[in-house]
Amino acid sequence: MTKDLSEFDSEGVIRGVFSTQAKARIGFGATRKNTAQTVYMYVEEQEDGRFSIQPLNNHHIPTGEKQTITREELLEQYLPEPEVYTKRFLPAVRELEKTVARGERHFENNELFSAEYEFKNALRIDEENIRATFGLGLTYLERGEKDKGELVFKRLGHIEGAFEESHKHLFNEFGILLRKQGLLDQALMHYNRAFRLCKTDEHLLYNMGRVLHLKGRYKAGIWVVRRALQLNPEFPEGKELLDVLQAAADKPVSVEDLTFLG
């Protein structure tokens, strides 16, 4: 089976919605039979020439785990669906983006109940949306609702979508509010996840150092803040925190104290 993919070609990168047929069984006993169901996938060409594919949910939003296939597999097993892409996928994605953006604006304006409403609407459309999940968690923490904030925190650990460096500031912001609510272990875990996405942000390392100081882990805090100062030697807050940590510590840092960096 061959097909023209040029209609999905934008500046040399193929992206669009494709469909495939999945077998399913319906009914019970003597009435049970095999049937074929159409499954829609969002497809995007990668730098190495292969393609990432991700299923669309009932709202035509990509969700769930991404897989990688070759061009040959795409041509043999999938059909392009340009009408679904232009009339369903793109409008759904744009509306979702607008909903999340409204929630973020409400949050920035301290309109927390309106923010909660928009973030929840976004999650009804895409339950794995990272920005909406963070936004809802931040909203709960800003309102002082620790229990709800912790539930969202746990939810983040089960989201299958890949986190990217662009999500670093979300983990960092979540960590700051968790620290302010006294949830130090959770704050440190979020800083750690941000650190794995970007190891060259001195402000993130400084925030980690603050939590470690509050937890009484002065040696680990010294190591983290020194790393921040290596990145930016003229970081006044970092210098001040290092002095505080060194005054509190009574022995040099040990490797065992750095396990939080995973």
Rounded-to-integer distance, Cα 253 and Cα 115, Å: 43
Structural Rg of the chain based on CA atoms: 23
Q: Where are the alpha helices (DSSP H) in 31-129?
A: 71-77, 82-84, 90-108, 112-125
Q: What percent of the chain has pLDDT over 90?
A: 55
pLDDT of residue 230: 94
pLDDT (0 to 100) of residue 6: 42
Q: Give 157-191 pLDDT, tens digit per residue.
A: 666 555 677 778 888 888 888 888 888 998 898 88
Q: How far is 17 from 4, CA to CA, in rounded Å?
A: 14
Asked if the model's pLDDT at residue 2 lies above 50, the reply is no
Residues β-bridged to residue 56 = 62
Q: Which of 4-8, 32-36, 51-55 has the lowest mean pLDDT?
A: 4-8
User: What pTM did the predictor assign?
Assistant: 0.72
Name the phi and psi angles at 129, rounded to 5. -65, 120
For 110-124, the pLDDT digits (tens) are 999 999 999 999 999
pLDDT in tens, 62-109: 988 889 999 999 999 999 999 999 999 999 999 999 999 999 999 999
Pick the CATH number of 174-262 from 3.30.300.30, 1.25.40.10, 3.40.50.460, 1.20.120.450: 1.25.40.10
Q: 209: helix, coil or strand? A: helix
Q: Which of 250, 248, 249, 230 is nearest to 239 (CA)?
A: 230
- State the CB neighbour count (10 A cutoff) for residue 100: 23
Question: What are the pLDDT digits (tens) for 123-168?
Answer: 999 988 988 998 999 899 899 898 898 888 778 766 655 567 777 8
Lowest-confidence pick of 138-142, 198-202, 246-250: 246-250
pLDDT at residue number 1: 40
Residue 14: CB partners within 8 Å, gap ≥ 6? 5, 8, 43, 44, 45, 51
Q: Domain boundaries in the chain? A: 6-81, 174-262
Sign of the CA dihedral 216, 140, 169, 133? Answer: positive
